[in-house]
Amino acid sequence: MGIADTRRDLPANRMIFEVRRDADKLAAFADDLEAVMEQYGLSEAEREAFRHIDLKSLAELGVHPYFLPQVSRLFHGTGYNHNRSTAAQAYGRSVVEGRGRLR
């Protein structure tokens, strides 16, 4: 689950990249995740991983390692990021501790 395992053609990678950089897309992501996943053409495996905020599964599917903590921030907020932030704690549980699903 490293950078060599990244699938550059994975729709989730494009979605994460664009949602992080566009306020309108971020708002749509927060309001209707299902519609945004449909718009980007995510596979059912990708959708299931997002529904459960399963960062480990996203990594196994080929999401870029840099994007994994970004996904946690998309769901848990980006304000005041530090090791004890909700986003960082969720990332740690899912990826570092290997618990997978957070929902």
pLDDT score, position 96:
62
pLDDT score, position 7:
87
45 located within any domain = yes
Q: Which tokens in the block code for residue 81?
A: 């990021």
Range of the domain at 24: 3-96
Interatomic CA distance for residues 19 and 26, integer angstroms = 5
Cβ 95 vs Cβ 59: under 8 Å:
yes
pLDDT score, position 27:
94
**Structural domain count, the chain:** 1
Extract the residue ranges of the chain whose pLDDT is less than 50.
none
pLDDT in tens, 4-24: 778 889 999 999 999 989 999
Cβ 16 vs Cβ 66: under 8 Å:
no
Q: Which tokens in the block code for residue 86?
A: 């909700």
DSSP tag of 101: -
38 located within any domain = yes
52 located within any domain = yes
In order of 1, 42, 55, the CA distances from 7 in angstroms are 11, 13, 15
102 located within any domain = no
103 located within any domain = no
